[in-house]
Amino acid sequence: MKLHLSKCTTSDLDKLISISRKTFIDAFKLENNPDDFNAYMKKAFSEEQLLMELAEPLMSFYLVFSENEVLGYFKLNEDDAQRDIKDRNAIELERIYVISAFQGNKIGHWMLNQIKYIAANKKKSYLWLGVWEKNTNAIRFYEKNGFIKFGRHPYYIGNDKQMDWLMKLNLVNLEK
């Protein structure tokens, strides 16, 4: 499967809304209170919210395609757009999702390599993210790819306070 990456612009809004909603529903709907989940979905993936994020120069969304089909996406935050750590030497990977039907095809690994390349070109020394402590598959994926846990932070789905692990990957000593 030949993959390619495209940085999102406002012309990609419909695709971004669609994949954001689909992947988040597939990943977390069954494990959350429906009222809290629906409140989060309505806010986080609204047209207004995503347009605002697309307009922020320190936030970047990327769509991953095979042919013309969107298979996944990720979001990167830099400098003051980072949520917890405001380190100019770091980049936050806020979201990384692959459509469930395509998981297991090394697409996530390919995406992570693209993210490392983007971060290295921006002269960042590490990549960090928050991952729900109950998302053991994602935690295993990150650990296999060299991320280590360095902290925790609360994350709200509606009114439900959940806990994320903070994980980071040192980019300085990675092979080019």
Please give the positions annotated as active site: 142
Q: Which amino acid is at 129?
A: L
CA atoms of 88 and 107, how far apart (whole Å) = 28
CA atoms of 98 and 23, how far apart (whole Å) = 7
Cα dihedral sign, 93-99-100-106:
negative
| Residue 65 neighbours by CB under 8 Å, 6+ apart | 3, 4, 5, 6, 71
| Residue 87 neighbours by CB under 8 Å, 6+ apart | none
CA atoms of 85 and 65, how far apart (whole Å) = 30
CA atoms of 75 and 157, how far apart (whole Å) = 18
Annotate 141-159 with b (16+ C-beta within 10 A) or e (fewer). bbeeebbeeeeeeebebbe
